[in-house]
Amino acid sequence: MFADGTFSDNVLFITGAGTGIGRAFANRAAELGATVVLAGRRETILKTAANEIVSKGGRALPCPLDIRQPEAVQQAIDGVVDQLGSIDILINNAAGNFIARAEDISPNGWNTVIDIVLNGTAYCTLAAGRHMLRQRRGKVLSISASYAWNGGPGTAHSAAAKAGVIALSQSLAVEWGSSNVQVNCLCPGFVDTEQSQTALWPTEECRFRAKSPMIPE
């Protein structure tokens, strides 16, 4: 039974919450007493994750959403506030990535990653932030990656997007801090999930290079 209470009366909105670390965030937040809104594109997976939390005594709502669509993001955020009264914490976890040499990345591939990682994070942050500013309280946590600072072979598109997320977060932290809205980034490092295995290190060689990105080919 979930009963810790650390986040009681808090509403958390988590993107990319159906799988991987997003789902882990949602489960842990619910254990600590939060009501969690699980946002993502795959409704079936979101419902499964939400039902798992509810079955253990937690509070969770699935929220099918493509964060690349700003109008849909605004509608989803507004709907959560109307239904639950507030959004107290936003975790920008949704991401898209694939390994490719920079010269081989198509405009469509580049734009897809930028749209999810940078634009989607911005849409969610600004939509939730407007409510947080009116509330005079709130927290935004965006997931970054080490190659946003150091670079990494095969990740030029994602590194650029993640670096943008860091710059966005730093700017908003200054703008919004006086209104008691805190904005931070978290760099979790090497996280071995089913999605990362498929997209980033499908072979042992790729896995080794992901852990040691500065080793030349």
Amino acid at 164: G
CB 138 within 8 A of CB 128: yes
Active-site residues, by number, are: 147
Nearest alpha carbon to residue 124 among 163, 70, 172, 171 = 70
Query: What is the residue whose two structure tokens read 């959560």?
Result: 80
Q: How far apart are CA 188 and CA 21, in angstroms?
A: 9
Residue 50: exposure state from Cβ atoms within 10 A (0-12, 13-18, ≥19): buried
Residue 93's φ and ψ, nearest 5 degrees, are: -110, -25
